[in-house]
Homo-oligomer: A and B are copies of this chain.
Amino acid sequence: MSGPAASKPQVSSRSVVLDAIRAAGTISRVGLIRATGFTAPTISTLVRKLINEDLVVETGHAKSTGGKRRVLLQLNHASRYAVGVHLDHGVITYALTNLGGTVVARISRPGAGAQEPAVVVARIATEIAALIDGVGVERDRILGVGLVFPGPVNATRGMGGPPDVGLAPAMRQWNGFPLGAALEQVTALPVALDNDATAAASGEHWTGGFGTATSAAALYMGTGIGAGLVVNGSTYRGPSGNVGELGHVCVSADGPRCWCGARGCVEALAGPAAVVAAARSEPATARAVGFTPGVRRPSVVADFAAISRAARRGEPHALALLERSARHVGVAARTLANLMDLEVLVLTGPSLATAGSVYLPIVRHELRACFARGTHTVDVRLSRSAATASAIGAAALVLESELVPPGHGPRPPEQVPGRRVRLTESAG
């Protein structure tokens, strides 16, 4: 009989204290003793170090409760920054956040398209430099870059699994390219990698989009469909970083063949690419949407946005297409909710940034029939930052490695490598 493995109660006390300060907003040393369970001398030493590193500042006094008024501590938000990059076929989105996770700048640039990976990576480095310089942040205050993309991170810190298996068709040329190492070389910054749907969940989590839910998901639609999961209050990645493959939930056992090899996947039936193909194949819809035969937009996301605009201005064919897709997506979301006991589902990603108002009521309706044994409902919301949630989540990857205690929820699949002296290492 084996049972669960023994655990080692080893956590980085420094991260625990940083995380407690971050979560509290402002807190006294006595408050930290209560919040962490550490002794007064330990807290005193750790706080002194964090102040010396400029990560924490003293910020006035708490109200007197009879004795000496206590000095309050808070994170020095402007002391460090993180860059988040969301690399996709149709668009590359950038976010710069401070140590507290507040977005201080965001930009969008043309997507990877069919360009050579090395060319795209060189451009990303230039665009990151422009992002940082644009707000006048000093280079040595940048903790690192979080880079997220469709599909999984592989062992060579690139995109995708075995050739032609792990990646959606639009990203196939990235297979085998050592993305992490290449971007580290041109930026001279440590790079952390993750997939875009999981990053979207991280982004929602850090920006409060899930509220107090401990079981939540980001339903992500960009070129394809995916989901990022929050389990026990932490972003969950699974043993191989491949949880939340919502696009490959089967909603029709005898449905059409998907590019993944299975039948009836919701992405094959109802994903943005399927919706765009259907719109192109129906002359009335194609005309109403403004699709010209032979003329293509740069990406599925751009085509899908055109359909969304047509639907929003009341064009019935476009609306009917999106509603049909939304019903299938809603069925897949119900399956996810039933399996994960979801409390909150946030609709996000670039395609839901344009079509969210059509999908929201239909997904909500499908989730009313959600099971959860009648004990609770699932709160379905539109993301407040659907177009940039993944880029924010990418920056959060970097912040998590600095702020969240090891063992407090699963770690990101890729640690920020030690290419320069890291704060955690210099703390002693």
User: Given the interface contacts A16-B9, A253-B327, A331-B253, does A242 sit within 8 Å of B373 by beta carbon?
Assistant: yes
List 17 contacting pairs A-B, 8 Å CB cutoff, sorted by A. Answer: A1-B207, A3-B23, A3-B205, A3-B206, A3-B396, A6-B36, A7-B11, A7-B408, A8-B36, A9-B16, A162-B375, A166-B374, A238-B340, A242-B375, A261-B369, A262-B334, A264-B331
Q: 0/1 per residue, A362-394, Cβ < 8 Å to B? A: 000000011111111000000000000000000
Q: 0/1 per residue, A272-291, Cβ < 8 Å to B? A: 00000000000000000000
Query: At the interface, yes or no: A401 with Cβ under 8 Å from chain B?
Result: no
Pairs of residues from A and B, 7 with the lowest C-beta to C-beta distance, nearest first: A238-B341, A165-B374, A6-B23, A166-B373, A161-B374, A245-B338, A6-B20
Q: 0/1 per residue, A304-337, Cβ < 8 Å to B? A: 0000000000000000000000011001101110
Q: Which residues of B contact A24 (CB under 8 A)?
A: 6
Query: At the interface, yes or no: A4 with Cβ under 8 Å from chain B?
Result: yes
Q: Which residue from chain B places its CB closest to the CB of A396 in the assembled complex? A: B3
Query: At the interface, yes or no: A66 with Cβ under 8 Å from chain B?
Result: no
User: Given the interface contacts A371-B260, A373-B152, A373-B161, does A36 sit within 8 Å of B9 by beta carbon?
Assistant: yes
Bound Cα distance A371, B262 (Å): 8
Q: Which residue from chain B places its CB closest to the CB of A37 in the assembled complex? A: B10
Bound Cα distance A234, B232 (Å): 11
Query: At the interface, yes or no: A110 with Cβ under 8 Å from chain B?
Result: no
With A231-B232, A239-B343 known, 12 other A-B pairs at CB within 8 A are A2-B208, A5-B23, A5-B233, A6-B20, A8-B37, A9-B37, A152-B373, A162-B374, A245-B373, A250-B251, A252-B254, A253-B327
A253 touches B5 (CB 8 A): no
What is the distance, in angstroms, from A341's C-beta to the closest C-beta of chain B?
3
Q: Please report A residues at the B interface, Cβ cutoff 8 Å.
A: 1-11, 13, 16, 19-20, 22-24, 35-38, 100-102, 151-152, 154, 160-162, 165-167, 205-208, 213-215, 227, 229, 231-234, 236-246, 248-254, 260-262, 264, 327-328, 331-332, 334-336, 338-341, 343, 369-376, 396, 403-405, 408-410
What is the distance, in angstroms, from A170's C-beta to the closest C-beta of chain B?
15
What is the distance, in angstroms, from A234's C-beta to the closest C-beta of chain B?
6
Chain copies in complex = 2
A232 touches B5 (CB 8 A): no
Bound Cα distance A246, B243 (Å): 16
What is the distance, in angstroms, from A148's C-beta to the closest C-beta of chain B?
15
Q: Which residues of B contact A213 (CB under 8 A)?
A: 239
Contact with A19, one of B7, B227, B233, B253 (Cβ below 8 angstroms)? B7
What is the distance, in angstroms, from A243's C-beta to the closest C-beta of chain B?
4
A240 touches B101 (CB 8 A): no
What is the distance, in angstroms, from A96's C-beta to the closest C-beta of chain B?
14
